Every structure is written in C-alpha cells, then in structure tokens.
Amino acid sequence: MPHESGRIYGSFKKICIPESMLLDEAIAIRSQLSQIKSNWENGILTGSEVTYQLVLLYLEKRVKRHPFLRMGQKLPNRNSSKEFLEVVRFYGMPDTVRYALWKWHIGEWNIQLIDFNPSSLEMLESQSKGIRYATISWDHALMGTLVEGKRDAFEHLLHDLAHAYMFFREDYDFDGQKKFFQSMLDDYEEYLIYLEKDNTFKEKFEYCISDMNSHPAHLSAYWNAIRKEAGVPILTAETKN
C-alpha cells in the first residue's frame, strides 16, 4: 500500500500525491473525469480507451514537465492512441503498465475495465477464464479519496495493469496460470471450512487466488507453503468424498 501514516512508497511513488492533495486534484479535473465516465457508460469509449484517457489526464496534471517520454524523437499525435502507446514511455511508472495498456488496446490481452472492487472469488473466476480485471473507482476519483484506504483511484488502476502484465506475459506461462486458478476454483468449496476458522490462512489464500500473478511453479509453491502452514490437507478424490 503506497499510503501509510502519511508516507508514500511503492512502484508509483513518483506520480502519487499526498492524500491531503487528492480533493483539490479531484475538483480540478472533475469535469473531465465525469465526461470520460459518461462516455464509457454510454458505450462511446471502450475500457482501454477510458484507461488511456485517464493516464493522459492524471499524468499531465501531476507531472509538470515531460509526463511522456520518447528519447530523441518528437512525440506522436496523442489522438493516435495505438502509435502513442507503442512508442511513448510514461514518466514515473514501470513500463509494464504502458505495455499492458498497449496490448489491451490492440486486442491481444483480455483485460476488462470494471468500476467496482471484485471479491477474491470473482478474481479467481475471471482469471480461470483468462480475464484480468482493471478497476477504476469513479467515486473515489471524483471525491479525491483513497480506495480501501491504500491507493488513490489512479494508482489503483495502474496497480491492476501491472498485475495484468504479470498475468499475460509469455514467460510467466499464461496458460499455466489459468490452469492453476481453474484448479483452485474447482476445489474452492472444499477449503471453505478452513477459511472460516483461520483468518491468517484466509488472508494468504485470498492473496494467492486474487492478487498474485506469477509463474505457475511459484504460485504452486506459495500455495503448498501456506496450505502446510495452516495444516490443510492435499485434496484427493477420497478426501473430497
């Protein structure tokens, strides 16, 4: 979480602003945010187009000089979003975000924009189908408040895009991740009894199925570690019956 006790840290700290400044920012860009929201809700903009416009809006507001970078060359027309995303780098964030947005924009990665915070089970279901959600919390964006007390709405969206990159990147075995999440979904109800009585296991389990994107070997290793730690048996055909 990048906001804690007034401190900002994490991958996006260069483009985060203090919590005390969020309301003033929201007021300054509220009309643009409302228009983008309306265009999305009325089907004028796709999810990737909305996200692209939000990146432009927030970066230009927060970064006074050179929010967009292209070494030694003139920036392309920002209205040509495909070309812009392909060659421009965004200041203050890992390039994984720009790359994920570009792949989404050209239709190669199945990222879906939503306007609510999904439950861990909803995330598990979507990832088992090869879908990665990206959330824009309009209420928090328009009111200038933190999402779940952790991230502002813009950083929350960027965080989801960074996770999408880890989900779809080729060397992290996208198909293997889908199979892992499908296996966890198949057995989900069998673990409910353990989740209900062990809050520590529940917290780690929900992280594993919803907020952890990595190579399936790493996912399996983490799952086996927390399962053993909590004394949860390996499910077999016999134990399921």
Confidence of residue 50 (pLDDT cuts 50, 70, 90): very high
Residue 52 has pLDDT above 90, yes or no: yes
The overall average pLDDT reported for the chain is 93
Give the pLDDT confidence of 88-139 residue by residue, as tens digits: 999 999 999 999 999 999 999 999 999 999 999 999 999 999 999 999 999 9
Give the pLDDT confidence of 159-183 residue by residue, as tens digits: 999 999 999 998 999 999 999 999 9
Distance of CA 140 to the CA centre of its chain: 16
Judge if pTM exceeds 0.95.
no
Q: What is the pLDDT of residue 90?
A: 95
Question: Could you tell me the residue ranges of all domains in the chain?
Answer: 3-168, 174-240
Burial (0-12, 13-18, 19+ Cβ within 10 Å), 149: exposed
